[in-house]
Amino acid sequence: MQNYISKEKIKVSQSSTGDDIYIDKITVKGSDDFAPSVYLQASMHASELQGNAVLVELLEYFNQHQPNGDIYIIPQCNPIGMDMFIGAGHQGRFDSATGDNWNRYYFNPKINYESFVKEHINSSTLVYKKAFEELLQQEIAKELSNKWELSRAKRLNMLVQQEAQKADFVLDLHTDTDAITYLYTPEYAKEDAEKFGYKHTLVVGNAFGGALDEAICVPWWSLQLEFKKQGRDENVLKECFTLELGSEECVSKDDAIMQTQGVLNYLKHKKVINSVFATDRLHSEVIHHDLADYKHVKAVEGGLYEWFVKAGDSFEAGDLIGQYIQTSSMTRKDLTLPYKGTIISISMKGAVCQGSALMNLATTNN
């Protein structure tokens, strides 16, 4: 590795033996101190692995092409959920001890936006940006100091959030169940999101539900809205995207090549890099789906399910998209849905109970 690439360890937890638990943080020092920086992490949902395949590609690229801006990478950011295998399954989405979703305990501080903007209404963008960054770091440090009330999910989430908050752009690498490559974008960053060249996006509003993309975007978005309210037009100064890189528990070098092209294309657009790379695998037409049209379809009947469709397919309401066997009557039944749309991910096959997740569907009305 080039000498502008270094690695450090960050303590994030402690086992019942008293041994500390660490994550690796890799820093690729950029050549230009004034270029924007990027933070990437993978596998907070510990069974979502493909982000690491992309990060290996990126590191190889950065080893040959020093970026302008700093790149911060935490490849495997969940050492607790990492090898949590229970029988046939890798328990990666939840803390198996508590049921805590590893991606829902990021921190959204209570900030008095009105008074902050009042104070900075005439500050330069650089000045208020720096002040707001400091405020966010203070708030998270304060929350972390409340140590007797931190679950391990919350501590882990906030410790990586501290790292993420140091960068201008943040990419949180996830996957879905059995899925296409797509991404979540805040409404204000839709155009930038298209630079990734992934065919589908889900567009989210300024609401906080505990995920990293929200924890990064919501404060800066709220700040921009407050500036607007007080009569000054500003851009939202930070962006965070959750990239959904295909299917969980899968690693594909071929997919990683396409997905990495998208990340590089975004970084180039943001002037974090200016070296060359291929873009032949990217989609030029990107379809944005509103989150309100995104349905989490559950099974209305139990059965042994077989699918006739796969992630990425579109269908009409009433189309025959699968069938299922009910052994209680030894019959086979057709599966149709009252919706039309594009399948973003298939959640389950085989044995399915009433109420089990079937698919995530970007519905369309026309």
Q: Taking CB under 8 A as the rule, does residue 41 contact its own copies?
A: no
Shortest distance (Å) from residue 23 CB to its own copies: 10
**Hey, which residues between 337 and 366 contact its own copies (CB under 8 A)?**
337-339, 349-357
Site for its own copies in 246-275 (CB under 8 A): 248-253
Residue 98: both structure tokens together: 């508590």
Residues within window 9-38 making contact with its own copies, judged by CB under 8 A: 13-19, 24, 26
Q: 3-class SS at 242?
A: strand
Residue 157 interacting with its own copies (CB under 8 A): no
Q: Where does this chain touch its own copies (CB under 8 A) — which range of 107-115, 203-211, 216-224, 331-339?
A: 331-339
x-or-dash string of contact with its own copies, 181-220, rule CB under 8 A: ----------------------------------------
List of residues 6+ apart from 344 with CB closer than 8 A: 176, 179, 180, 182, 200, 202, 294, 311, 359, 360, 361, 362
What CA–CA distance (Å, rounded) separates 274 from 257?
A: 18
Nearer to its own copies, 101 or 123 (CB): 101
Instruction: Give yes or no for residue 336 binding its own copies (CB under 8 A).
Output: no
Mark 100-139 with x for binding to its own copies (rule: CB under 8 A) and - for no binding: -x--------------------------------------
Phi, psi of 77 (to 5 degrees): -95, 15
| CA gap 295, 308 in Å, rounded | 19
Q: Is 46 an interacting residue with respect to its own copies (CB under 8 A)?
A: yes
Binder to its own copies among 3, 88, 124, 233 (CB under 8 A)? 88
The DSSP string of 333-355 is EEE--S--EEEEEE---EEE-TT
Q: Does 147 bind its own copies (CB under 8 A)?
A: yes
Report whether 215 contacts 108 (CB < 8 A): yes
- Provide the 3-class DSSP secondary structure of residue 77: coil
| Binding residues for its own copies restricted to 295-324, rule: CB under 8 A | 295-298, 300-306, 323-324
**Residue 352 identity (one-letter amino acid):** V
**Residue 123: strand, helix, or coil:** coil
Of 37 and 47, CB closest to its own copies: 47
